[in-house]
């Protein structure tokens, strides 16, 4: 017999496929594999497979599964890629990415930066329990600008809304890379895709409305009252 969570997970993924959010086998497999119940607060475990954001610590949220699916699809993730996530939160979205870029533990890797210390600790523990600690490296810091890397990434995923596309993140995107980021200061923001071609030329495309918490830090909404 399937565990109740496994059955609920399967039903959620079926719905996400039917609704058109999941379009690739890689994203479908990742959503079927990563146990979202291990990334929510214990009191919300019973809601882990509702397609909605849920509160975590520090006033932040774990994103809704359909939004994770949309962002993973836009990034066109594949095995072997190196991914940077800004906004680790619970660690769930990082685990989904790791399941695609490093399915058997080898190949790619996910680096994820989290602003709040207590969330960096929370996500690390969740990722360890769920078996992703070797494929996801969590760093506590400001991922809007103060990046502790001297190299670029194939894909960048930003899971909080920025006032504009942070220049440091564009610099850290490899040629041929893609970045997905919500842009805007209102309740509804624009999910924005940044594509850097092989010659380094950058193109920006809008992908419709979305609703995220605000990015903090130097290139975020640091000086605004939020």
User: Distance between CA atoms of 104 and 7, rounded to whole angstroms?
Assistant: 23
Smallest gap from residue 89 Cβ to ligand SAM (A): 3
Evaluate whether 136 touches 96 at the Cβ level (below 8 Å): no
Residue 132 or 212 having the CB closest to ligand SAM: 212
DSSP 76: T
Judged by the rule CB under 6 A, the positions of this chain that interact with ligand SAM are 58, 60-63, 86-87, 89-90, 92-93, 113-116, 119, 142-144, 159-160, 212-213, 215-217, 220
For the annotated catalytic residues, the residue numbers are 63
Residue 22 or 175 having the CB closest to ligand SAM: 22
Residue 28 or 41 having the CB closest to ligand SAM: 41
Smallest gap from residue 197 Cβ to ligand SAM (A): 27
Residue 74 or 114 having the CB closest to ligand SAM: 114
- Residues shown for the chain: 226
* Coil, helix or strand at residue 208: strand
Smallest gap from residue 222 Cβ to ligand SAM (A): 8
- C-alpha distance from residue 48 to each of 9, 141, 150 (Å): 9, 27, 37
- C-alpha distance from residue 105 to each of 32, 80, 131, 217 (Å): 17, 10, 10, 32
Smallest gap from residue 140 Cβ to ligand SAM (A): 9
């Amino acid at each position: 017999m399937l565990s109740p969570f496994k059955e609920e997970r399967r039903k959620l993924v079926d719905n996400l496929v039917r609704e058109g959010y999941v379009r690739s086998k890689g994203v479908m497999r990742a959503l079927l594999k990563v146990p979202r119940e291990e990334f929510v607060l214990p009191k919300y475990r019973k809601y882990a497979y509702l397609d909605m954001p849920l509160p975590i610590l520090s006033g932040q949220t774990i994103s809704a599964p359909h939004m994770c699916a949309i962002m993973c699809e836009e990034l066109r993730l594949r095995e072997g890629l190196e991914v940077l996530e800004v906004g680790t939160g619970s660690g769930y979205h990082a685990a989904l990415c790791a399941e695609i870029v490093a399915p058997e533990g080898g190949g790619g890797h996910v680096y994820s930066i989290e602003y709040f210390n207590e969330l960096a600790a929370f996500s690390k523990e969740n990722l360890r329990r769920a078996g992703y600690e070797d494929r996801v490296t969590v760093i506590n810091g400001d991922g809007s600008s103060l990046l502790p890397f001297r190299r670029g990434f194939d894909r960048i995923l930003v899971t909080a809304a920025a006032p504009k596309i942070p220049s440091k993140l564009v610099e850290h995107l490899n040629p041929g890379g893609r970045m997905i980021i919500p842009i805007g200061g209102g309740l509804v923001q624009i999910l924005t895709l940044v594509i850097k071609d092989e010659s380094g030329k950058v193109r920006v495309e809008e992908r419709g409305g979305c609703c995220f918490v605000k990015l903090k830090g130097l290139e975020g909404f640091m000086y605004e009252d939020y």
